[in-house]
Amino acid sequence: NWCFPHGRRVQSSKLGPTPPRLLTEEEFQLQGEVETRKALAELRSFCQSPEFSAWTTVSRIQSPKRFADFVGGAAHVTPNEVSAHEREFGLESLSIDEELFEEDDDDDDEEEENISDSSGG
């Protein structure tokens, strides 16, 4: 009996580390929002620091006014961009994707029926 804990430890080390728990959809969404806000705050802070070369950056970007507004605290995306993103990746697109997969499943069933009808005679 005194060997069991030692053997148990060896066994678990051979299996390797336990894989991390996968996030739920809600946890993933929340983590994405938190990390995005954090990264945007860090970017704004850096852009306001003395180490940041504003003129070099402004000369390289397409929309200097929008960039200046962002550094000043404005949103990093426009309402139109938010709408476009929601249309493409939001809940609406998930239901459309589900409908497409359901239609594909129906097509597969019809193909299987046609094959069995033609082979059955």
Cα–Cα dist 53/48, whole Å: 10
In a domain, 31, yes or no: no
Q: For residue 2, what is the DSSP state?
A: T
Considering the domain architecture, whether residues 85 and 116 belong to the same structural domain is answered as yes
Question: What pLDDT sits at residue 25?
Answer: 92
Return the closest-CA partner of residue 40 out of 15, 72, 14: 72
Predicted pLDDT of residue 89: 83
Count of domains observed in the chain: 2
Helix, strand or coil, per DSSP, at residue 100 = helix
Q: Which pLDDT does position 101 carry in this prediction?
A: 61
Question: What pLDDT score does 15 carry?
Answer: 80
Same domain, 88 and 121: yes
Assess whether 94 and 61 both reside in one domain: no
Q: Where are the alpha helices (DSSP H) in the chain?
A: 4-15, 25-47, 54-60, 64-71, 79-89, 91-120
Tokens at 107, concatenated: 């097509």
Supply the pLDDT for residue 48: 94
Kindly give the parts of the chain with pLDDT less than 70: 1-13, 91-121
Any domain includes 85: yes
Q: Are residues 91 and 116 in the same domain?
A: yes
pLDDT value of position 119: 52
Residue 11, domain member (yes or no): no
Structural domain boundaries, residue 117: 77-121
Q: Is 61 part of any domain?
A: yes
Q: How many CB atoms lie within 10 A of CB 66?
A: 14
83 falls within a domain: yes
Are 71 and 85 within one domain? no
Q: What is the pLDDT of residue 90?
A: 76
Coil/strand/helix, residue 31: helix
